[in-house]
Amino acid sequence: MTPHATLARFRDYLVGPSRFMTLLSCFELGLIDALRGGRALSAAQLGTVAGARPDAVEQLLLLMVKEGFIAHDEQAGTYRLAGLAGVSDEDLDAVLADLAMIKAVTLRQLYYLTESVRTGTPAGLKELYGVDGDLYAALADLPELREPWAKLMNTVTAHVDPWFFATIDIPAGSQVLDLAGNTGLGAIHTWRMKQSPGLHVTNFDLPEKETESLANFRAHGVEDHCSFIGGDVFEEVPGGHDVILIKHFLPMFDKSDVLRILKAVHDALPAGGTVHALVPVFPENLADTENYTVDFYPSFFIGCAMGQGGPQKLSTWAEWFTACGFTVTQAVTHDPAELPAHALTVEAVLSAVKNP
Amino acid sequence: MTPHATLARFRDYLVGPSRFMTLLSCFELGLIDALRGGRALSAAQLGTVAGARPDAVEQLLLLMVKEGFIAHDEQAGTYRLAGLAGVSDEDLDAVLADLAMIKAVTLRQLYYLTESVRTGTPAGLKELYGVDGDLYAALADLPELREPWAKLMNTVTAHVDPWFFATIDIPAGSQVLDLAGNTGLGAIHTWRMKQSPGLHVTNFDLPEKETESLANFRAHGVEDHCSFIGGDVFEEVPGGHDVILIKHFLPMFDKSDVLRILKAVHDALPAGGTVHALVPVFPENLADTENYTVDFYPSFFIGCAMGQGGPQKLSTWAEWFTACGFTVTQAVTHDPAELPAHALTVEAVLSAVKNP
């Protein structure tokens, strides 16, 4: 890479925040929705919709026109959708969920990234909200973070869970533990997608999740098949299960803590017991520019969520399982062709059996 | 543009803030400087430099390696500069000035872009600092904004002013007014680069700029050739000058205020008097992806600086001068090939003569 090419690429980095918020603001102002009605509209008409001066509408739409998302008829002075015209409502909702989460949970917090790296804590949460813990603790008290976060996680889960459960085998009658299963959605999905006579799924998470988890089991009519155990994975993982699921949890931690978790899982399983993990991965060849995992997640986990953690290569996750007394039986990366084109995360399923 | 291509392009928007801060944090942590020493260093060694855990250093550097800015030797476990190796100290300083200004002056402020559009004020300055005015008023009291801002403006001025003054003609003995000349640097440059017997340059700005402006004139030894008049361009522009310069000022305003300013300039000049403006421009063909003006400036002026304003096409600026009683005599866009490869702004010089 030449110095000139390096400097030219820096331009894309310099305009990263401004591009992000210009696009999101066009949604927030209702400009995109107004144009989705199909009529060509002037800046003055769009200004009325947005409660903004036409000059400001024109300014924000310049970038949308440059990108080809929106078209501008200079003679008529009107705008209409271009690239955005064919995007489905469902995809647009999903993009908007991404944009809203990134704004709420990362945009201002990233200002404190360097401090987060040095302290090993998400410093922005402390600065902005006075929160001492991590993002997941903060969500409970902060609806302005929780709501966009939950909306995003629901759209991601809707795509990922069917693939995850189609990829793993859970034998009939298994006793399953969903590690750090939050408020029980993973346990409910496990029952729904893998149900069999005798199958039982236990959600294991901090005791404060019990009430909402049990309420969710009742609301979904799975209370006979799903239960809750309160505890802390860094203290002890409860025994009595032959399958343990670890979804959306390992990338929250640095290597030393991942190994502690895997050793605790190992201790909790019988010989021959199985663990299935869902983990974000970056490609074995980092130069694969189609994988955006490292463009987003390192600064997300370190700066905005945990003060540590991040994605790994699938081969690294596999090494860590092997180092903790497991034999890896499958390691499958989600085919990017099956993901929405705007998806930032490439996930993998890693299944492993406890060595005898 | 297909829906798929549109969604895929959105990914670059979604990772805009995280890419920006990941790069800047690598500088802030001292990782780039350490590698500029030339030795290959491990994550542990870099962690010692940065005061950070090696895990976090590895995470942040993933993106730098993906981009080819830095190289990672997986066998040796060490990092060295790649694309960044050939970038000169001067260019790197300039990039760092850009990054630091964008972080301080825009990153958190952009969170409030939609509110800024609706209110016509830079809402983020109010939210973050309790400031009621615009950025330029806020700079006086806020060193955390002023210092990165001033550093950036100095690097930009060092590139742009020689070109601006080489492009315009100021006849010997002219009486020049530098409109909104801040603390006098433009007046000093005018004298230095265009000096002639009888040339006099007056800096016209708000009265509170007088003390610093006069001190600057003395410090640069130009106090016999440069003077100061306090006033407000929206009240009256002082007469008695045959050349008026307007640098870095017009893009701060919406069209209606630009026209007010140009009419006041027209009133202040004699027939045949000249105005030379330096203005940011986006290309006549907005689809020119090599021009980054619209990627940055609309949200900067509206969201972070003024609550209004923005760049225009050179032909639009020219139309506005013509509408205010001027004949445009030259309209020259700075050749991008003469700008540093990371430059975001394309400037133009527009010269015009007051119609008889």
What digits encode the pLDDT tens for the residues A114-148?
999 999 999 999 999 999 999 998 998 999 999 99
Element (H, E) at A274: strand A274-282
- Closest-CA residue in chain B for A344? B11
Q: pLDDT band for position A54 (50/70/90)?
A: very high
According to DSSP H, which parts of A142-270 are helical?
143-167, 185-194, 210-219, 255-268
Report chain B's terminal Cα–Cα distance, integer Å: 50
Residue B97 pLDDT: 95
- What is the arithmetic mean of pLDDT over A178-206? 96
pLDDT at B76: 96
Beta strands in chain B (DSSP E): 41-42, 70-73, 78-81, 175-179, 200-205, 226-230, 243-247, 274-282, 312-313, 326-333, 347-354
- Chain B residues in contact with A73 by the CB 8 A cut-off are none
| Residues of chain B contacting residue A93, judged by C-beta atoms under 8 Å apart | none
Could you tell me the pTM of the whole model?
A: 0.96
Percent of chain A residues topping a pLDDT of 90: 91
CA-based nearest distance A262→chain B, Å = 18
Bridge partners for B230 per DSSP: B205
Q: Which residue of A has its CA nearest to B99?
A: A14
Residue-level pLDDT at B134? 96
Q: Does A43 contact chain B (CB < 8 Å)? A: no
Place of tokens 């800015």: B69
What the block records as the tokens of B279 is: 């203005």
Report pLDDT for A10: 97
What confidence category does residue A348 fall into, taking pLDDT thresholds of 50, 70 and 90? very high
**N- to C-terminal Cα separation, chain A:** 50
B6 touches chain A (CB under 8 A): yes
Q: Which of A4, A11, A18 to mutate to test binding with chain B, by most B CBs within 10 Å of its CB?
A: A18
Q: Is A278 helix (H, G, I), strand (E, B) or coil?
A: strand
Residue predicted with more confidence, A337 or B352: B352
Mean pLDDT of chain A: 96
Q: What is the ipTM of this complex?
A: 0.96
Q: Do B342 and A83 touch (CB under 8 A)?
A: no
Residues sharing a CB contact under 8 Å with residue A215, sequence separation 6 or more, in sequence order: none
Per-residue DSSP letters for B66-114?
HHTSEEEETTTTEEEESGGGG--HHHHHHHHHHHHHHIIIIITGGGGHH
Please judge whether A254 and B107 are an interchain contact, meaning their C-beta atoms are less than 8 angstroms apart. no
How does pLDDT run across A215-267, given as a tens digit for each residue? 999 999 999 999 999 999 999 999 999 999 999 999 999 999 999 999 999 99
A291, pLDDT greater than 90: no
Residues of A in contact with B55 (CB under 8 A): 254-255, 308, 310
Q: How far is A183 from chain B (nearest CA, A)?
A: 28
pLDDT in tens, chain B (356 residues): 899 999 999 999 999 999 999 999 999 999 999 999 999 999 999 999 999 999 999 999 999 999 999 999 999 999 999 999 999 999 999 999 999 999 999 999 999 999 999 999 999 999 999 999 999 989 989 999 999 999 998 888 888 999 999 999 999 999 999 999 999 999 999 999 999 999 999 999 999 999 999 999 999 999 999 999 999 999 999 999 999 999 999 999 999 999 999 999 999 999 999 999 999 999 999 888 888 999 999 999 999 999 999 999 999 999 999 999 999 999 999 998 888 889 888 999 999 999 99
Contact of A63 with chain B, judged by CB distance below 8 Å, is answered with yes
**Hey, are the CB atoms on A295 and B255 less than 8 Å from each other?**
no
pLDDT value at residue A306: 97
User: Cα–Cα distance between A45 and A47 in angstroms, integer?
Assistant: 5
Q: Give residue A287's pLDDT.
A: 84
CA distance B78 to chain A (A): 15
Task: Average the pLDDT over A297-313 and give the result.
Answer: 97
Pairing assessment for the beta strands A78-81 and A274-282 based on DSSP bridges: unpaired
Q: Which residues in A lie closer than 8 A to residue B14 (C-beta atoms)?
A: 20, 95, 98-99, 102, 292, 296, 342, 344
Structure tokens at A124: 């922005």
Mean pLDDT value of segment A36-59: 97
Flag whether residue B342 sits within 8 Å of chain A, measured between CB atoms: yes
Comparing A288 with A240, which gets the higher pLDDT?
A: A240
Tokens encoding B50: 């940065």
Residue B170 is encoded by which pair of tokens? Answer: 């100021």
CA distance A282 to B314: 44
**Cβ-defined contact of B286 to A65 (cutoff 8 Å):** yes
Looking up tokens 């890419």 gives B19
Confidence of residue A290 (pLDDT cuts 50, 70, 90): confident
Matching residue, tokens 């100290």: B89
